[in-house]
Amino acid sequence: MPVWGWVLGILLALVLLVLFAPVRIWARVCSKKEWQVKISWLFIRLDAVKWAKKFQARAARKKQGGAKGSRAAKREEPAGGKKETPESFLEKVQKAATMAQAAAGPLAKLLRSLRLDRIRLEMTVAREDAAQTAIAYGEIYAALHSAYATLAHFLQISRPQVRVRPDFTAEEGWVEFSGRAGIRLASVIAALAEFLWNIVKQQRQQPLQQPPRRKEPQKTAVG
């Protein structure tokens, strides 16, 4: 096999690896501890919570630096803003409906390609008295089973580990949830491409209608 064949084969293998390597998001939510969200893809590891804190701190510094300029600009702005007309409101509603219609199919396929696993839920139910604690325990347990049955119809979800228990002596309850979600980059790209193609098809089927021109009054000759 010539050298260019080996090069093309390696490039194809890399492309397939990038497209079909799953992007995984692991999250842990606890009422007594700080949230943890970590994203991994191939050899990339990202702590989403730390990244979000750095971004918020940077945005706060920029906001403090530009506070004086924004105050001066607000003083110079004339009173009153752009008024909403029925035509502009209707146009926004039509655009929103078009976007929702175009995103319905791709979003459903994207959810079906999403996989949830390693789900673990621990919860302690506590209310003011024993009777309210027992009622809340039964309602929460039934709601969790109903939620799992509903999600299983739309998502690829593994059997979660659920541990719910009542505490008749504590003043308040607590909850800890952890789980992992995974999706391939190829599924995301395919859904995005289908969404854009649906928008293009809708624009072709529904061309923009120009508003009717006003008829100018005809001038009659006098004499």
pLDDT in tens, 165-177: 888 888 788 899 9
pLDDT at 116: 92
Residue 196: phi and psi, rounded to 5, are: -65, -40
Label residues 161-184 b or e (16+ Cβ within 10 Å = b): eeebebeeeeeebeebbbbbbbbb
52, amino acid identity: A
pLDDT in tens, 143-160: 988 988 888 888 889 989
pLDDT at 68: 54
3-state SS class at 223? coil
pLDDT at 7: 79
- Cβ atoms of 168 and 71 within 8 Å: the answer is no
pLDDT in tens, 132-146: 888 988 898 889 889
Q: How much is the pTM?
A: 0.67
